[in-house]
């Protein structure tokens, strides 16, 4: 595996960068705290729900949830939320970052979400997919042809 940074930490670091940029650069929207909080809460709950659905699917299949050791997977999970996205946990983190950008009320913060997605594609998902292809072969290749990486 090429990466050693846990994805929740990667998401937190991008969230921190978004906050620092929003605090020090112009361009904030004039939204009341009530609107920002309400909209962000909806996105936050959606992101957490998608992420938890992914974790629960892994638990149900009795396979590892550890993103740093995909080579230890004991099952290819393709049911539940995994019928719609190959990476619901990472999708959930991205939606949580969208919630954070809404709360910050600074549109350029969405670039942090894009940065997170790009980072994950290169340094996390790519290595994971290589490990899973090695483990599950044709079954994984077929799954990839039927289900998108993100949505």
- What is the rounded CA–CA span in Å between residue 60 and residue 122? 28
74 pLDDT tier (thresholds 50, 70, 90): very high
Residue 65 dihedral angles phi and psi, to the nearest 5°: -100, -5
* pLDDT score of 62: 97
Q: What is the pLDDT of residues 38-57, one digit of tens each?
A: 999 999 999 999 999 999 99
- The pTM of the full predicted model, rounded to 2 decimals, is 0.96
Residue 78 predicted with pLDDT over 60 = yes
Q: Residue 84 gets which letter from DSSP?
A: T
Percent of the chain scored above 70 by pLDDT? 98
* pLDDT score of 4: 82
Percent of the chain scored above 90 by pLDDT? 95
- What is the rounded CA–CA span in Å between residue 81 and residue 9? 23
Q: Residue 148 gets which letter from DSSP?
A: -
2 pLDDT tier (thresholds 50, 70, 90): low
Residue 69 predicted with pLDDT over 80 = yes
Q: Which residues contact 149 (CB under 8 A, 6 or more apart)?
A: 85, 86, 87, 121, 125
Give the CA-trace dihedral at 13, 14, 18, 20, to 10 degrees. 20
CB 73 within 8 A of CB 63: yes
Residue 70 predicted with pLDDT over 90 = yes
- Between the alpha carbon of residue 132 and those of residues 25, 79, 85, 125, 128, the distances in Å are 41, 16, 15, 10, 6
């Amino acid at each position: 595996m090429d990466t050693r940074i846990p994805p929740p930490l990667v998401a937190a670091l991008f969230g921190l960068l978004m906050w620092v940029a929003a605090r020090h650069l112009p361009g904030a929207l004039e939204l009341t705290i009530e609107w920002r909080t309400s909209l962000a809460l909806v996105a936050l709950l959606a992101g957490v729900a998608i992420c938890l659905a992914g974790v629960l699917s892994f638990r149900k299949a009795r396979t590892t949830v550890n993103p740093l050791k995909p080579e230890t997977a004991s099952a290819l999970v393709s049911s539940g939320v995994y019928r719609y996205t190959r990476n619901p946990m990472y999708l959930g983190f991205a939606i949580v970052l969208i919630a954070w950008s809404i709360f910050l009320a600074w549109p350029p913060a969405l670039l942090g979400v894009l940065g997170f997605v790009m980072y994950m594609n290169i340094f996390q998902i790519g290595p994971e997919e290589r490990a899973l292809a090695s483990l599950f072969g044709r079954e994984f290749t077929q799954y990839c042809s039927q289900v998108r990486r993100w949505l």
